[in-house]
Structure 1
């Protein structure tokens, strides 16, 4: 298992916890928890070694575009960069809309 971590400055608050995707062949799960900090911490756990440069590119691009304050955990099982971006966008959508949160 490889563990990759990133921290970015952030200024926008999100409202809700979000959990999307599954850890399975060619997929990943994304868990986003809101924080009151002026930063976002991202932790990626992946069983696929040697793709740190690609992860860095996808994660930097997404979090520069979406300046959210959160704790983000990504558990990967060989997802492509397109799937990573899709799951991050889904988690962000869920975390920002009440209709997805039944609690």
Structure 2
């Protein structure tokens, strides 16, 4: 397994519920666990992946996600089994949608 860590400066996420599990660890897929981070101006990404050599792709996908969403104060633990960048982006957006949906219930 390859372990990758990123921390990005980000606008604070303004929803009080900050814990979610999204996706399934399986071939060509991934699971995302979102939890609260003490620093509301930073987001942290911990990626456990079965594939080596794609750190630059991970960084680009995560950077695009951070640019699109205010995710400060959130930690994303990603358990990957070879998902494509499109699946990674979809699952990250899905996690935010779940968090935002729980805030409106």
Q: TM-score surpassing 0.5?
A: yes
1:2 aligned partner: 2
Q: 72, 77, 81: which is aligned to 1:77?
A: 81
Contact kept in structure 2, 1:2 and 1:48, CA below 8 Å: yes
Q: TM-score under structure 1 normalisation?
A: 0.88
Say if 1:27 and 1:36 are closer, same or farther in 2 by CA, change over 3 A: same
Instruction: Give 1 or 2: higher strand fraction.
Output: 1
Q: Aligned runs of 1:8-87 on 2, under 5 Å?
A: 8-13=8-13, 14-16=15-17, 17-37=19-39, 38-69=41-72, 70-87=74-91
Q: How many aligned residue pairs are there?
A: 101
Question: In structure 2, how many angstroms separate the alpha carbons of the residues matched to 1:100 and 1:32?
Answer: 18
Superposed CA RMSD in Å reads 1.7
